[in-house]
Amino acid sequence: MVKRLLILLLILGVTPLSAQKAKKEEENKMQWFKDAKLGIFIHWGLYAVNGIDESWSFFNGYISHPDYLKQTNGFTASNYDAERWVKLIKNSGAKYSVITSKHHDGFALWDSKYGSFNAVKSAAAKKDVLTPFVGQLRKNGLKVGIYYSLPDWSYDDYTHFKRDSLRYKIAEEPKRWQKFLEYYQGQLKELSDNYNPDLYWFDGDWEHNSEEWQAPKVRKMLLDRNPNTILNSRLREEGDYATPEQGMPITRPESKYWELCITMNNSWGFQKNDHDYKTTDQIIGIFSDVIGNGGNMLLDIGPKADGTIPEEQVEILEGLGRWTNKHKEAIYGTIAGIPKEHYYGATTLSKDRKILYLFVKGNPGGEVVLRGLKNNINRIWVVGNGTKLSHQVVGKVYWSHYPGIKYIKVPEYVLDENMTVIAVLLDGEVDLYREDGAVIESN
Ligand code: GLC
């Protein structure tokens, strides 16, 4: 009887309540991330010296490991100015930044107690280049994200070295693997002690399974230290959000929290020979698609070995900054917009779902079209400009629920040079006609 009662209680209230609580906690923790929309990714490491693929260049055999290591002599950071970096990042409209504290090559940007392969002890820079950056992010109110590669291909007790050479198998040398686990988890503790990151951006988890990495233990360790810290998905199944890479999802990702990481040209780190930059226009277009689908964009820059940020990248960040600043009300704190059948472009919604933001690429030739919107429109204006716009409802018949088509008139002089945004204030929460348009309807 008692047992039955307990089961009943469990079914009725206790489980859902605790589940609800967990959900609420998760939502609270993820809120800043959900609202942030834009982050700047930084790939900075030895690879910037020759301008070659980060870590992969030696792993795949395009350069020998000793030659790859010689780049330590050129990693000077002589013009590095963390304050300038953060100013640029902040002005782009980003609310957080994620920096490679250590890539797969194992070179650490901070003065790690674990090993000596770092910017202080092994490179011309002879200084910790991570701490000043984190300090500036905090000073400027930006969230701190630390990228950390689980694989460490230069470390003698790590399993993988190059694509065609494995050092050992865990099953054969478990003690050696144990040594690596202590090393990498020690570094993570160090990062937690030094920087208390708001977000950990793991990478490279594909080389081992969850058990081998001790992923649940690592998650617990990091959350015990800071229950509010966010982990990306690349710690096997232990992460908080999905990380599609390079490709803008065509359909809306299922995961509630996600972040598209993307390069400005075709490289994560600085590569002198890669001039294939996306235009500011294209980046703003991709960004609109991302936020219209409820995600974040983590846009990458690759500083040079002396710490200067390439001119093309500065220009993109500045262009993006002009646009995000003008259109902030349609970006930050908004939620994913309406299905594409209703508006052929990206849209976002205010959190109360009463303002619909329409993103207009190029010159729409006088008007944009909203289909199947049941709401009446109270007011329409051009974001960051204020001009009131008029609209016309076409095809509404009195005997049907079908709401007709709304044409919003957009004069050429209100158009933005990259992407215009129109705010549509509705008479209530957005309400969409999703039926098939049958002509005969009851009442
Ligand atoms: C991949 C690559 C790595 C890069 C990362 C960024 O996982 O291995 O080089 O840093 O993507 O998302």
pLDDT digits (tens, 9 = 90+) for 82-133: 999 999 999 999 999 999 999 999 999 999 999 999 999 999 999 999 999 9
- Nearest-atom number in ligand 1 for the CA of 246 is 12
Q: Note whether residue 441 is domain-resident.
A: no
Give the Å distance between the CA of 22 and the centre of ligand 1.
31
Give the Å distance between the CA of 219 and the centre of ligand 1.
21
Structure confidence at residue 317 (pLDDT) = 98
User: With pLDDT > 70 as the criterion, what percentage of the chain qualifies?
Assistant: 95
Among 268, 297, 298, say which to mutate for ligand 1: greatest number of ligand atoms within 8 Å of CB: 268
Structure tokens at 141: 């109110």
Statement to judge: residues 165 and 223 lie in one domain: yes
User: What separation in angstroms does the CA of 271 have from each of 55, 247, 313?
Assistant: 13, 21, 12
Task: Say which CATH number the domain at 78 has.
Answer: 3.20.20.80
* pLDDT band of 1, cuts 50, 70, 90: very low
For residue 5, pLDDT over 80 is answered with: no
Q: Note whether residue 364 is domain-resident.
A: yes
Q: Note whether residue 22 is domain-resident.
A: no
Structure confidence at residue 10 (pLDDT) = 57
Report the greatest alpha carbon distance in the chain. Answer: 80
Statement to judge: residues 250 and 273 lie in one domain: yes
Statement to judge: residues 68 and 96 lie in one domain: yes
- Nearest-atom number in ligand 1 for the CA of 147 is 10
Statement to judge: residues 274 and 342 lie in one domain: no
Residue the block writes with tokens 């052929």: 344
d(CA 112, CA 129) in angstroms, rounded, equals 12
Q: Note whether residue 17 is domain-resident.
A: no
Statement to judge: residues 59 and 186 lie in one domain: yes
H-run or E-run covering 68: helix 65-69
Q: What share of the chain is helix, strand, coil (3-state, %, to 5)?
A: 35, 20, 45
d(CA 142, CA 137) in angstroms, rounded, equals 5
d(CA 174, CA 160) in angstroms, rounded, equals 14
pLDDT digit string (tens) for 138-186?
Answer: 999 999 999 999 999 999 999 999 999 999 999 999 999 999 999 999 9
* Structural domain for 374, as ranges: 335-426
pLDDT digit string (tens) for 360-402?
Answer: 999 999 999 999 999 999 999 999 999 999 999 999 888 888 8
In the chain, how many domains are there?
A: 2
**Considering only CA atoms, which residue is closest to atom 5 of ligand 1?**
203
Q: Domain end: 326, 360, 376, which one?
A: 326
pLDDT digit string (tens) for 227-286?
Answer: 999 999 999 988 999 998 888 778 888 899 999 999 999 999 999 999 999 999 999 999
Which residues form the pocket of ligand 1, taking CB atoms under 6 Å from any ligand atom?
43, 54, 203, 245, 261, 268
Burial class (CB in 10 A: 0-12, 13-18, 19+), 172: exposed
Task: Say which CATH number the domain at 392 has.
Answer: 2.60.40.1180
Structure tokens at 93: 């409209």
CA dihedral 61, 63, 64, 68 (to 10 degrees): -130
**Considering only CA atoms, which residue is closest to atom 4 of ligand 1?**
268
Statement to judge: residues 321 and 339 lie in one domain: no
Contacts of 250 (CB under 8 A, 6+ apart): none
Give the Å distance between the CA of 428 and the centre of ligand 1.
44
Statement to judge: residues 316 and 346 lie in one domain: no
Among 103, 234, 245, say which to mutate for ligand 1: greatest number of ligand atoms within 8 Å of CB: 245
Give the Å distance between the CA of 203 and the centre of ligand 1.
7
pLDDT digit string (tens) for 50-78?
Answer: 999 999 999 999 999 999 999 999 999 99
* pLDDT band of 4, cuts 50, 70, 90: low
User: With pLDDT > 90 as the criterion, what percentage of the chain qualifies?
Assistant: 88
